[in-house]
């Protein structure tokens, strides 16, 4: 289903358990984040759980938004620029998605207000030292995967990875290795990746493909 202004206008709104004004767009088979300008920046919290979203991005400026829930989707990509569109985001729940690599999380570093992050049930959390890596990369975090970030974890992360200006060889190696994996990953069912990284499929092309798939589904539904 396409995320339209009509869907937004007809979706439930309420005061949630932490007294935020929330728009509930969960369970609508939404594949692409779009048209959220129709919310008119009225909400503290946005619930996009139980959809089919693959890309976190394409937000208008939503300076009021503090909590974003995108659990139980198909997210594998996080776009850059979230700090400009969601400058006051404090809580991000990405539980049960398909984020694969540590470098896929790098756009979250822009979110200086981010205090609570959930990456549970994502492949990335099976990486060695994944929790400590997140503690090291996202300095504002207080809660990770619904567990409080401890001072000893911050110290251990610094011992392992150094400082942002002077990362250890381990940190440098992880960044280099992860980036190499991303640039050289073959996805079954797709054409072999071209040698020139600049020619690899862009996020814009992926969005276009998602829209095409949505159009095909809508056309099929007319005959059901």
Q: How many CB atoms lie within 10 A of CB 80?
A: 12
- Match 């060695």 to its residue by tokens: 128
Query: Is 90 exceeded by the pLDDT of residue 126?
Result: yes
Query: Is 50 exceeded by the pLDDT of residue 65?
Result: yes
- Write down the pLDDT at residue 191: 43
What φ, ψ does residue 205 adopt, rounded to 5°? -65, -40
Q: Is 121 left (phi over 0), alpha (psi -120 to 50) or beta?
A: left
Give me the half-sphere count of Cα atoms (radius 13 Å) on the Cβ side of residue 69.
17
- Write down the pLDDT at residue 192: 41
Cβ atoms of 51 and 69 closer than 8 Å: no
- Write down the pLDDT at residue 66: 98
- Write down the pLDDT at residue 200: 47
Q: How confident is the model at residue 104 (pLDDT cuts 50, 70, 90)?
A: very high
Give the 3-state secondary structure of residue 131: helix
Average pLDDT, the chain: 87
The per-residue pLDDT for range 66-98, each reduced to its tens digit, is 999 999 999 999 999 999 999 999 999 999 999
Burial 96-130 (b: 16+ CB within 10 A, else e): bbbbbbbbbbebbbebeebbbbbbbebebbeeebb
The per-residue pLDDT for range 50-61, each reduced to its tens digit, is 999 999 999 999
Cβ atoms of 8 and 190 closer than 8 Å: no
Q: How confident is the model at residue 34 (pLDDT cuts 50, 70, 90)?
A: very high
User: pTM above 0.95?
Assistant: no
- Write down the pLDDT at residue 174: 82
């Amino acid at each position: 289903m396409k995320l339209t202004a009509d869907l937004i206008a007809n979706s439930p709104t309420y005061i949630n358990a932490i007294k935020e004004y929330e728009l509930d767009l969960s369970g609508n088979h939404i594949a692409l984040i779009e048209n959220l300008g129709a919310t008119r920046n009225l909400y503290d919290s946005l619930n996009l759980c139980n959809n089919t979203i693959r890309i976190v991005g394409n937000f208008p400026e939503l300076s009021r938004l503090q909590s974003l829930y995108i659990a139980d989707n198909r997210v594998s990509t996080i776009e850059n620029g979230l700090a400009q569109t969601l400058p006051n985001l404090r809580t991000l729940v990405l539980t049960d998605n398909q984020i694969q690599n540590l470098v896929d999380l790098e756009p979250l570093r822009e979110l200086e207000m981010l205090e609570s992050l959930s990456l549970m049930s994502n492949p990335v959390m099976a990486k060695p030292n994944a929790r400590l890596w997140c503690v090291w990369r996202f300095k504002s975090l207080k809660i990770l995967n619904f567990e409080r970030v401890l001072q000893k974890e911050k110290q251990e992360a610094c011992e392992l990875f150094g400082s942002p200006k002077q990362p250890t060889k381990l940190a440098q190696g992880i960044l280099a290795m992860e980036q190499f994996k991303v640039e050289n990953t073959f996805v079954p069912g797709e054409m072999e990746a071209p040698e020139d990284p600049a020619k690899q499929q862009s996020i814009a092309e992926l969005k276009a493909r998602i829209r095409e798939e949505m159009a095909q589904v809508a056309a099929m539904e007319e005959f059901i």
